[in-house]
Amino acid sequence: MTLTGYLLIGAHEVAATAGTMKALNPATNTTIEPDFAFGGVAEVNLAAQLADDAFDSFNNTSLDERAAFLERIADGLDAVAPELGQRTSLETGLPAAQLEAETAKAATQFRQFATVVRQGRFRQATIDPAQPERQPRPRMDHRMQKIALGPVAIFGASNFPISYSVAGGDTASALAAGCPVIVKAHNAHPGASEIMGRVIQRAVEESGLHEGVFSMLRGGGNEIGEALVDHPLIKGVTFTGSEAGGMALFRRAQQRPDPIPVFTEMTSVNPTFVLPAALAARGGAVGDGFGERMLVNVGQACLKPAILLVIDGPGYTELRQALIARVETMHARTMLTPGIWKSYSENLERRKGAGAEHIAAGGNAQGAWDGQAALLVVDGARMLADASLSEEVFGPAALLVRVSDVEQLIAIAKQFRGQLSATMQIDSADHALAARLLPVLERRTGRIVINAFAHPQEVSYASIHGGPFPATSDSRFTSVGMTSIERFLRPVCYQGFPDDLLPEALKHENPRDLWRLTDGELSKA
């Protein structure tokens, strides 16, 4: 595919109106062709109007039509996988083979959502039949289904440049729900964004859908993102990135004359608790496993296990040594962007300034934006005294916390802010302590993992990639997995409707053979 650098607004290719940029190859610190267009408020207005124009027809596509559209996108992603992997690798410093696998994961997500659409359960069809004889007052027929929220704006992430980006889970779940999508592409991978954007644009056309179902914009500052969040035709926003960026957009959306939901996924340290029997039995293996996972993607993963809490005792030395060995054998590797490298370096220094001791370092940096692995250690009392030690350091660093006893472990667990995940390494003799820790973790995290690590994340029906603030801005929803579609739906009740005016999911004959809740009972009646 020849990259043009244009903005993709509906079926149109739009040239720059607010300057251009080139992609940066962070491994060589050199720019890559071509120029990529920046747009401004006028382009936001155009994309939002097209999305609004597309809404009614897209929201009312048949389930089969919409599923076929999602499958077309999946096929398109498969077709560009090698090219997308190579371009994304140049723009991110991540290995091409890994990115090709990420493309396959993105395609799979679209196919999974096609299945969700065909099953139709997301409609949550619910029927309370009329009770004309009811006393003291008859009940009218009430029927409820979920419909799409409206056009939505999606801010792609920098760190998973395919599966959390233009063709990522947010886009897949929003389109599955029936929401036209406007992506604000991340400037860290503009070429990759264009390849994915063109795949979706082509699928819109080949599916015979309104062109406004998908647009992709790019901007040189906050203006374009702010205009998207402010636009009266935009009815929801998703975001993956920093807490500062996510909360700025969240607050902005709440200040609109008509506030809209903003689903942000921001920061998490994914604490790992090693309980005493597990430590004694396999401290070395736990340290080694943790070390391997903390370094995946140069530590630039929302699910990176970043803090390891261990009650001092048998197995501690083995765990610490295994972790040190992992870190020391890690070569410095290119980080995604100069900005992320700078934040990593500053946050690491801040953590040292807060009293953490730097006990192991990986290989020295060769390139300008190479991140050097780091292991720091701190004792439990210090951790309790300074909550800043519980904050994320986005990059290949982790903090080992040497805890004095069970009470201190529970106190530290209570100090954590909201998390995407928490892990317990346990043996059978640890179950009583695990049961004590469990309610503390349930209140603070979206996923609890036993004897494994949170990364990688499954994309399935029970997946939860969410959690209390600041992991996300709305702990009731997940941004990954099949139920992530719920972010883009809202309920509508149809009261006293004749059958011919009812939507398909609620018709008396149940033509799609959907599971429906009728008078409180699940059936296909």
3-state secondary structure (DSSP) of residue 359? strand
> Quick one: 44 or 179, whose CB is closer to ligand NAP?
44
CA distance 300 to 482: 24
> Quick one: 125 or 354, whose CB is closer to ligand NAP?
354
Beta bridge partners of 352: none
Q: Interface residues with ligand NAP (CB under 6 A)?
A: 155, 157-159, 184, 186-187, 219, 222, 225-226, 240-242, 245, 248-249, 266-268, 302, 339-340, 343, 394
Q: How far is the CB of 91 from ligand NAP (least distance, A)?
A: 13
Q: How far is the CB of 336 from ligand NAP (least distance, A)?
A: 7
Give the DSSP per-residue string, 117-144.
HHH-GGG--EEE--BTT-SSS-B--EEE
> Quick one: 63 or 398, whose CB is closer to ligand NAP?
398
Looking at 302, 318, 391, 392, which residue is catalytic? 302
Helix axes 431-442, 406-415, angle to 10 degrees: 20
Cα angle at 289 between 392 and 443, to 5 degrees? 45
> Quick one: 48 or 74, whose CB is closer to ligand NAP?
48
Q: How far is the CB of 184 from ligand NAP (least distance, A)?
A: 6
Q: How far is the CB of 500 from ligand NAP (least distance, A)?
A: 46
Question: Is 265 tagged catalytic?
Answer: yes
Q: Which of 179, 181, 185 is CA-nearest to residue 166?
A: 185
Q: Which of 334, 315, 293 is CA-nearest to residue 430?
A: 315
Question: Is 179 tagged catalytic?
Answer: no
The residue to which tokens 């196919």 are assigned: 111
Say if CB 180 and CB 153 are below 8 A apart.
no
3-state secondary structure (DSSP) of residue 402? strand
Q: How far is the CB of 260 from ligand NAP (least distance, A)?
A: 15
> Quick one: 14 or 217, whose CB is closer to ligand NAP?
217
Q: How far is the CB of 301 from ligand NAP (least distance, A)?
A: 7
Say if CB 377 and CB 357 are below 8 A apart.
yes
The burial class, CB within 10 Å (0-12 / 13-18 / 19+), for 438 is middle
3-state secondary structure (DSSP) of residue 209? coil
> Quick one: 39 or 315, whose CB is closer to ligand NAP?
39
CA distance 491 to 233: 19
Looking at 265, 318, 391, 392, which residue is catalytic? 265
Q: Known catalytic residues?
A: 265, 302
